[in-house]
A and B are shown apart, each in its own frame.
Chain A
Amino acid sequence: MAFLSVQQITKTFGNGPANVPALVDISLDVAEGEFVVVLGPSGCGKTTLLQIVAGLEQPSQGAVRLRGQPIRGWGRERALVFQEGNLFPWLTARDNVAFGLRVQGIGPEERRATAHQLLSHLGLEGCEQLYPHQLSGGMRQRVAIARALAVNPEVLLLDEPFASVDALTRTRLQEELLRIWQEYRKTVLFVTHNIHEALLLADRLVLLMPRPGRVKACFDLDLPRPRRAYPAELAAWEQRLEREMAEAEQAPHVSVPAWEPQSLAQRSPSAKL
């Protein structure tokens, strides 16, 4: 039994003939402690998939299971780090990190200690009292990761967390995330459209194709880390994935007009679209 299991998820926005299928029959198993990257061009529904795993969106069909239990709504065992700007702007870095502890009724002393420890762990010593607008983009994302870690989640969900920081900061954040992942042994589901980023991070890579979002292929990346030490292999992977991505982007639009839920249920679980 997989630790985190996405089972034949289909998501349609809108009803009736005007409905738009965003995801069709997505299945995905994540082992405990695994780093899975969902890679895909824009419009492939990868953010929607992550929102469904986070419990913020309901799938039209299918289920998400954690340790075999179907998830119901959101929960702090599945912490979500958004692309940008979702730190609470009215709270200091420290209070942002401590938010998840505060709602659990944990006292101010313990909150402060945990927040301090996490922030210094992420290289943000001395930034406790700063507000988000006083932090750089990279620092904000560090705070966001610390905030997610503070509630000690089982799964860390990251939605293009480094998309809006500069290249240098991005590299450093990726390394930092790997270090955190290895240290805290978290299960990570990471969404990105950046092939290079996916290759640097992933144990396993799930490539989605758009209109509607479907799984095109899965890849196991058995390259040791740090991956930068294997430029030749990385380059080969990169070429391969670029080809796959280009194919994915040009994939014919599968039209599913006035799509009826039953039509999919009749299909066998592993049916290729």
Chain B
Amino acid sequence: MSDLGKRLRGASLLLVLLVLWELLPRLNLVDPLLLPPFDRVAARWAALLMSGELGAHVVISLLRVLAGFVLAALTAIPLGILLGLRPALRERAEPLLGMLRPISPPAWIPLAILWFGIGNRPAVFIIWMGTMFSLLVGVLGAARSIDSRWVKAGLTLGASRRQAVRLVILPLLLPAILTQLRVGLGLAWMCVIAAEMVAVRQGLGYLMIQARNLFQTDTVLAGMVTVGLVGWALDGMLGIVERRALHWREGTEAHGFFERATDH
């Protein structure tokens, strides 16, 4: 019941916005060229979907995100754990990380194009760069503040150092890793759209930038709606994974994607 209530509340806010979106251009309070009414965007969205064009762009974007995100996870998680557990290494790496991290993902675009030309590779590189540092810093922070009680318990029960990492430290870090992955996937999805606005001929970002060039505001907005929907779905999927994997924790509550993403 309360779940249904929550959903209704969420839907009602959306409904109000949609009505405003429909009315403002219709009443000419906003130039319909700049903000086409919702029904036109919806119709455009449906047409793009039916023609298969939208699906193709989404799939391409998702594949790039997947590649960059998996690369980022594979590099950032082991590296974060290593740096978290080894203060000597961490001290050496921290200035570098501190300097590289504030470079926003789009700032890598010129370099990515110089290095990788056009196509998928620069996009994957940008996603990797844009996601990796956030992931790395998050995992590192969790690893360095790990509670040694459980590690000690594992060691006194006969675990080797390697076993302690695999059987104690990894499970201990899993909540933080999953949170970071969720943040990272959101970042990756943002990066792909930015990356696709240059140097590619496919993908959601391309669709939108192309539509802008042709002054098809309805397509731009349809693209944005799709970006939001897909991002929401991705986060929801990881949220389910998170809840499944952390069932042993009390009161594991999923927080809103946008609340978290704006923190980073």
Contact = CB atoms under 8 A, between A and B. Distances in A.
B78 interface: no
B160 interface: yes
Contacts of B163: 103
A108 interface: no
B156 interface: yes
B149 A82 contact: yes
A10 B150 CA distance: 26
Contact of A99 (B157, B160, B249, B250): B157
Interface in B111-169: 149-150, 152-160, 163, 167-168
Classify the secondary structure of A's interface with B: loop
B152 A88 contact: no
Given A99-B167, A103-B163, A104-B158, A89 B249 contact: yes
B198 interface: no
A80 B163 CA distance: 18
B177 to A, nearest CB: 13
Interface in A116-161: 131, 133, 147-148, 151
Nearest to A85: B149
A78 B156 contact: yes
B190 to A, nearest CB: 31
B157 A79 contact: yes
B248 A103 contact: no
Contacts of B149: 82, 85-86
A103 B160 contact: yes
A56 interface: yes
Contacts of B160: 103
B156 A54 contact: yes
A133 B167 contact: no
Contacts of A76: 156-158
A151 B153 CA distance: 12
How many A residues touch the partner, as a band? Answer: 20 to 34
Contacts of A85: 149
Interface in A79-108: 79-80, 82, 85-86, 88-91, 99-100, 102-104
Contact of A103 (B167, B171, B174): B167
Given A82-B149, A86-B150, A133-B248, A102 B167 contact: yes
A259 interface: no
B159 A103 contact: yes
Contacts of A104: 158
Contacts of A82: 149, 152-153
A103 B153 contact: no
Interface string B238-252: 000000000011100
Interface in B61-84: none
Contacts of B249: 89, 133
Interface in B27-71: none
Nearest to B163: A103
A56 B155 contact: yes
A75 interface: yes
Contacts of B156: 54-56, 74-76, 78-80
B158 A100 contact: yes
Given A99-B167, A103-B163, A133-B250, A86 B153 contact: yes
A13 B163 CA distance: 29
B123 to A, nearest CB: 37
Contacts of B250: 133
Contact of A90 (B152, B155, B171): B171
19 contacts: A56-B156, A74-B155, A74-B156, A76-B157, A79-B157, A80-B152, A82-B153, A88-B150, A88-B153, A89-B248, A90-B172, A99-B157, A99-B167, A103-B157, A103-B159, A103-B160, A103-B163, A133-B249, A151-B157
Interface of B: 149-150, 152-160, 163, 167-168, 171-172, 174, 248-250
Which 3 pairs across A and B sit closest by C-beta, in order of nearness? A76-B158, A100-B157, A103-B159
